[in-house]
Structure 1
Amino acid sequence: MSPTRRAATLVALVAVASVLLPVPLAVLAVVAVLTATLADAMSVRGRLGVDRSAPPVVSRGVTSPLTISVVGSPAGTVAVRQPVPAAMSLTPDESDGGLAASLMPTRRGRYRLEPPVLRRTGPLGLGRWDRKVEVDAIDFAVFPNLVAARRIVARVRKGRFGNAGRQARGPLGLGTEFELIREYAPDDDIRQVNWRATARAGRPMSNQYRVEQDRDVIVLLDMGRLMSAPVGDRSRLDVAVDAMTALGLVADELGDRFGVIAFDDTIQRRVAPRRNGGAAAVRACFDVQARSVDSDFSTAFNAVGGAKRALVMVLTDLLDASAAASLVAAVPTLARRHALVVASVRDPDITAITKREPAHPFAVYEASVAASVLAARDQAAAQLRATGATTVDGTPDGLSVACVEAYLSLKARARL
């Protein structure tokens, strides 16, 4: 129990008035205010229940609704406050009579929403109680950005990622499974032209091929120390997990088998390639966190194994040639057997520094350092390409799209 600001104001007024009032009357006034405050607080000391609604799974960077309603019609006024973990924000976090708020997680993982706190103020506005509601805590999971990943899947389904989109009878492109003969389109590859059908029809005709399904797609998710570095409002690992999510859901949509190996100096998580493996990979890796150890790429590459050709996409950070030396040394192990893609996030802030007009001498030095960082990344990427890997990079918001485009391009060229 505690007095409100109104009660404190009344006591202060009585104290000021005591200069003019007889002492017994001033004491009586103070006692009256304190008694009224106590009675007001006691009238609302009973505990209240609440109904709280929150989704069990939310996405990082996406707002989700949280509602709290007070059960019954209590006397006085009730303010509801909901504490949240530091890795998320709640807007608003306090409201009178109930709470209808937006929950915004900023980090992936498992979290607990503790019981809300009710502040009950008596009808006179003099006394109040602050009490935690006796309800169970809510455990929930913060997944990667599923909204953005599903948006990419929708674009693939509607054929907005070039020739590898999905039509009524499956994804089409320059695969090897014959689908049908149709009229030549201006963007058709010359290899699709059916010359015999063209001669018979008297106009250009093309073969259309179905891109094969049931191919293996494996993501190697780097959890080493370099992946903890921030890029914008998230970590490099956050960006990589978002890219893995988009790639996995697109693979599910196109009927391929998807798997993931999350590693640092050892294998931490593993999902073998399977149908609908993208959804399984998200459930298995949504809460992975970077560790302060160097990544062992040889261990991860050896874990891929298998004689069946697959697309292996390594989601890592290309800091410079020396940091990527172990990756470059391990690439030939996979590049001889699989289609290997190395994807990394590009920091847009560093790129912006190199393009900014220097305003003072220090800015020239800053731009020089930024340019050397980009040159070191380019050198590391060139070494990887020389060993047989394909390299992909993108901004924090663009890496998922870049990875999906690389995957669809390899499917369209029958590289898987």
Structure 2
Amino acid sequence: MSPTPRAAGLLVIAALSALVIPPWLAAGLCLAIVAAVVADAWPARHLPDLERRVPRSLARGVPAEMSVTADGGAASRLSVRQPAPPDVRIEPQENPNPLRATITVMRRGRHRLEPAATKNQGPLGLGAWYHRAGTGDELIVYPDLPAARRLAVAVRQGRFAEEGRRSRGPLGLGTDLERIRDYQPDDDIRQVNWRATARRGSPMSNQWRVEQDREIICLIDSGRLMSAPIGDRTRLDAAVDAVAAISAVADEIGDRVGVVAFDRTIRRQLSPRRAGGVAVVAAIFDLEPTLDESDYALAFQTVASAKRSLIIVQTDLLDSAAARPLLEATRILSRRHAVVVASILDDDLQQQVETPAANLAEAYRTVAALTVLEERAEVARQLRGTGVEVVEAPLRLLSSACVGAYLRARSRARL
């Protein structure tokens, strides 16, 4: 039990009253206030019953509603406070009972939400009891699944378009004719049925049945290079978001999707399967980067014996020396599989190069940034020379760029 600020203020006034009234009377006032504090707080001494409603799983950066309701009896005045662990935002954190708040988790993975704290005051607000009520909860935080679903829906509806490219129109060309229909503005010119167009006098298009059951394997580098920060997250966070988007699109199309996460060892592995998007996300949502150098040869050996697949590698193209193991491994892998290597373009480096240097220090930074960009461009050139498609995109566009590479591989019959 503790006195409230109101009780503390009354005690100060009573103590100061000794300057104008007899000390024994001031002491009596202080004792009376202490007795009032005890009497006021006594009915509120019981541990309140607490009910906390919070989603078991959330998506990174997506707000969700939560509530904490405490029942301490009719004779008490309750307020509730919910402590927030690192990377978790709760607004507001404290409120008179009940607490209704918005929770946003900024980092995927597993987080522990500590028990709520209650302040249980007596009717006069002189004394209060402080309790930790309830139990802790584990929060499961997935990557940006809403963004992944939006990309999948856009692909299904023929609205998917990468920045700088026209909309793809309906999915794929396929090889089996399904039906002949009216021409749509987004149709590929190869879909036009010229004989049907001549007969009808209006443009007609072939609609092809999209091939399904292709195999997509996402390789995620979770080693040292992927621990580097980019924006408000790490490079690995961006890679996991991209894999979630690829998996959602694969489910929409009907392809089989799997994942391998690696550093110097194989850390996670899930073989390709139909409707595998949920399983892929469950396998990698709590993947964290390590400080180990990544063994590309080991990772590629893991998938080398699979049937011809699209292998999408999420990594960082730092420089020729760091990328040498990747180059050696992709030369072998690309003989059997279609390979895409995806990496994030650092906007800060590009901005540094494009901004005129104001002093010598800025000039040195510009030269350093230009050197890094030239090294990355050289690595990308060498990878393309082995038959690999290289995807380089800013953080906000990486997921859609990877989905675009996936769809291009399908339309070119590379799978």
Give the TM-score of the pair, scaled to structure 2: 0.93
Instruction: Find the aligned partners of 1:200 and 1:286 in 2 and give their Cα distance.
Output: 54
Kindly provide the CA deviation profile for residues 226-248 of structure 1, in whole angstroms up to 9, marking residues without a partner as x: 11111000011000000000000
Kindly provide the CA deviation profile for residues 11-47 of structure 1, in whole angstroms up to 9, marking residues without a partner as x: 2112222111111111111111111112222221111
- Cα RMSD of the aligned pairs, angstroms, is 2.1
Instruction: Find the aligned partners of 1:9 and 1:189 in 2 and give their Cα distance.
Output: 79
For 1:104-119, what aligned pairs fall within 5 Å after superposition?
Answer: 104-119=104-119
Give the TM-score of the pair, scaled to structure 1: 0.92
Deviates more, 1:396-405 or 1:364-373: 364-373
Residue identity opposite 2:54 in structure 1: A
Residue identity opposite 1:323 in structure 2: A
Verify the 8 A CA contact 1:108 1:143 in the aligned structure 2. Answer: yes
For 1:219-234, what aligned pairs fall within 5 Å after superposition?
Answer: 219-234=218-233
Residue identity opposite 1:241 in structure 2: V
Verify the 8 A CA contact 2:219 2:259 in the aligned structure 1. Answer: yes
Q: Which 5+ residue runs of structure 2 have no aligned equivalent?
A: 162-166
For 1:17-416, what aligned pairs fall within 5 Å after superposition?
Answer: 17-71=17-71, 73-133=73-133, 135-161=134-160, 166=170, 171=171, 173-181=172-180, 191-192=190-191, 207-306=206-305, 308-416=307-415
Q: Give the SS at the match of 1:324.
A: helix
Verify the 8 A CA contact 1:177 1:210 in the aligned structure 2. Answer: yes
Instruction: Find the aligned partners of 2:123 and 2:187 in 1 and give their Cα distance.
Output: 77
Verify the 8 A CA contact 1:164 1:408 in the aligned structure 2. Answer: no
Shift of 1:180: 3.6
Verify the 8 A CA contact 1:229 1:235 in the aligned structure 2. Answer: yes
Verify the 8 A CA contact 1:224 1:293 in the aligned structure 2. Answer: yes
Instruction: Find the aligned partners of 1:78 and 1:208 in 2 and give their Cα distance.
Output: 65
Shift of 1:78: 1.0
Instruction: Find the aligned partners of 2:204 and 2:185 in 1 and give their Cα distance.
Output: 11
Instruction: Find the aligned partners of 1:64 and 1:27 in 2 and give their Cα distance.
Output: 53
Instruction: Find the aligned partners of 2:86 and 2:297 in 1 and give their Cα distance.
Output: 37
Residue identity opposite 1:74 in structure 2: A
Distance change >3 Å, CA 155–CA 194, structure 1 → 2: closer
Shift of 1:386: 1.1
Deviates more, 1:206-215 or 1:16-25: 206-215
Instruction: Find the aligned partners of 1:323 and 1:412 in 2 and give their Cα distance.
Output: 32
Instruction: Find the aligned partners of 1:200 and 1:34 in 2 and give their Cα distance.
Output: 99
Instruction: Find the aligned partners of 1:72 and 1:32 in 2 and give their Cα distance.
Output: 26
Residue identity opposite 2:89 in structure 1: S
Kindly provide the CA deviation profile for residues 187-240 of structure 1, in whole angstroms up to 9, marking residues without a partner as x: 665655556666766777654433311100000011101111110000110000
Instruction: Find the aligned partners of 1:324 and 1:68 in 2 and give their Cα distance.
Output: 51
Verify the 8 A CA contact 2:224 2:291 in the aligned structure 1. Answer: yes
Shift of 1:306: 3.2
Shift of 1:182: 5.1
Distance change >3 Å, CA 186–CA 112, structure 1 → 2: closer
Instruction: Find the aligned partners of 2:406 and 2:399 in 1 and give their Cα distance.
Output: 11
Distance change >3 Å, CA 37–CA 274, structure 1 → 2: same
Deviates more, 1:357-366 or 1:146-155: 357-366
**Residue aligning to 2:2:** 2
Distance change >3 Å, CA 27–CA 329, structure 1 → 2: same
Instruction: Find the aligned partners of 1:125 and 1:330 in 2 and give their Cα distance.
Output: 71
Kindly provide the CA deviation profile for residues 290-314 of structure 1, in whole angstroms up to 9, marking residues without a partner as x: 1110000111111113352111000
Verify the 8 A CA contact 1:211 1:412 in the aligned structure 2. Answer: no
Shift of 1:279: 1.2
Residue identity opposite 1:88 in structure 2: V
Instruction: Find the aligned partners of 2:355 and 2:179 in 1 and give their Cα distance.
Output: 52
Verify the 8 A CA contact 2:263 2:294 in the aligned structure 1. Answer: yes
Shift of 1:56: 0.8
Distance change >3 Å, CA 73–CA 165, structure 1 → 2: farther
Q: Give the SS at the match of 2:399.
A: helix
Shift of 1:88: 1.1
Q: Give the SS at the match of 1:323.
A: helix
Instruction: Find the aligned partners of 1:189 and 1:207 in 2 and give their Cα distance.
Output: 10
Distance change >3 Å, CA 185–CA 32, structure 1 → 2: closer
Q: Give the SS at the match of 2:396.
A: coil
Instruction: Find the aligned partners of 2:277 and 2:41 in 1 and give their Cα distance.
Output: 56
- Amino-acid identity (%): 48
Q: Give the SS at the match of 1:282.
A: helix
Shift of 1:319: 1.1
Kindly provide the CA deviation profile for residues 318-361 of structure 1, in whole angstroms up to 9, marking residues without a partner as x: 11111111101100121011110000111222222222243443
Kindly provide the CA deviation profile for residues 132-188 of structure 1, in whole angstroms up to 9, marking residues without a partner as x: 11x23222211001111111112112111267555xxxx3x3332333445667766
Deviates more, 1:256-265 or 1:3-12: 3-12
Instruction: Find the aligned partners of 2:184 and 2:155 in 1 and give their Cα distance.
Output: 20
Instruction: Find the aligned partners of 1:105 and 1:202 in 2 and give their Cα distance.
Output: 57
Instruction: Find the aligned partners of 1:392 and 1:61 in 2 and give their Cα distance.
Output: 25
Verify the 8 A CA contact 1:216 1:256 in the aligned structure 2. Answer: yes
Shift of 1:107: 1.2
Deviates more, 1:237-246 or 1:372-381: 372-381
Instruction: Find the aligned partners of 1:17 and 1:42 in 2 and give their Cα distance.
Output: 27
Distance change >3 Å, CA 96–CA 190, structure 1 → 2: closer
Shift of 1:121: 1.5
Verify the 8 A CA contact 1:219 1:244 in the aligned structure 2. Answer: yes
Shift of 1:64: 1.2
